[in-house]
């Protein structure tokens, strides 16, 4: 049986907690609270619906440093969008009752850009885009990171698009009608 993949939009209820397992892998734990606020048509007031509190984990892998990135970037109260697989577990509580738990193992996560602007930085030094998070003002960037962002990027250089137009990839040749 495969585990379902879901997307959740909500606020972090605590700062993400980064730890290292006995095997040396980094994992970041946090909780997302999703709530469906609705405006009551009779009173005109906003009312909170039933909240879902979902425990989440983000893991580092050989391909990404997601756990470390989450711990360094996100904080309590921040509105996020996360996608991952939901796993169900169970345990027996102190009173002997069986309890069911749900945890999302996060595949992707980021700040909700309907509420924030973000600085996006590739820690490998490959790309950097300007912007800001929340009410922070954008900072002036040194010329060096901007130069690194365009090195090896054919789209950042004038001849990149012209080279693309001359190929047959994606309709760039003369055998197809133009839009």
Whether the per-residue pLDDT at 142 is higher than 70: the answer is no
DSSP conformation class of 113: T
Q: Quick one: how far is CA 144 from the chain centroid? A: 27
35 versus 143: the higher-pLDDT residue is 35
pLDDT at 17: 97
CA dist., res. 48 & res. 32, Å (int): 16
- Residues 6 or more apart whose CB falls under 8 angstroms from that of 150 comprise 156, 157
DSSP 3-state of 38: strand
Give the dihedral sign, CA 2/7/11/12: positive
* Domain segments of the chain as ranges: 1-116, 117-167
Q: Closest Cα partner for 29 from 57, 59, 63?
A: 57
Judging by beta carbons within 10 Å of its beta carbon (0-12, 13-18, 19+), is residue 119 exposed, middle or buried? Answer: middle
Whether the per-residue pLDDT at 141 is higher than 50: the answer is no
Q: Where are the beta strands (DSSP E) in the chain?
A: 5-12, 17-20, 26-34, 38-39, 46-47, 52-59, 79-92, 98-111, 120-121, 128-129
Partners of 38 in beta bridges: 47
Whether the per-residue pLDDT at 171 is higher than 80: the answer is no
- Residues 6 or more apart whose CB falls under 8 angstroms from that of 141 comprise 128, 130
CA angle 31, 34, 35 (to 5 degrees): 145
pLDDT at 98: 94
Domain formed by 1-116, architecture:
Beta Barrel (2.40)
Other beta carbons within 10 angstroms of residue 86's beta carbon come to: 15
pLDDT digits (tens, 9 = 90+) for 31-79: 999 988 888 899 999 888 889 999 999 999 988 899 999 999 999 999 9
Whether the per-residue pLDDT at 166 is higher than 70: the answer is no
């Amino acid at each position: 049986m495969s585990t379902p993949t879901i997307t959740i939009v909500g606020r972090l209820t605590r700062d993400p907690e980064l730890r290292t397992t006995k095997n040396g892998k980094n994992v970041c734990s946090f909780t997302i609270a999703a709530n469906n606020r609705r405006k009551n048509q009779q009173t005109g007031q906003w009312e909170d619906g039933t909240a879902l509190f979902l425990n989440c984990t983000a893991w580092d892998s050989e391909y990404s440093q997601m756990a470390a990135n989450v711990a360094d970037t996100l904080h309590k109260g921040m509105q996020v969008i996360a996608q991952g697989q939901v796993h169900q577990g169970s345990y027996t509580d102190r009173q002997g009752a069986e309890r069911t738990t749900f945890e999302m193992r996060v595949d992707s996560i980021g700040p909700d850009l309907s509420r924030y602007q973000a600085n996006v930085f590739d820690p490998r030094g490959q790309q950097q885009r300007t912007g800001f998070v929340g009410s922070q003002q954008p900072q002036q960037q040194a010329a060096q990171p901007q130069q690194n962002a365009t090195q090896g990027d054919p789209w950042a250089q004038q001849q990149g698009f012209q080279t693309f137009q001359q190929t047959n990839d994606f309709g760039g040749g003369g055998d197809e009608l133009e839009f």
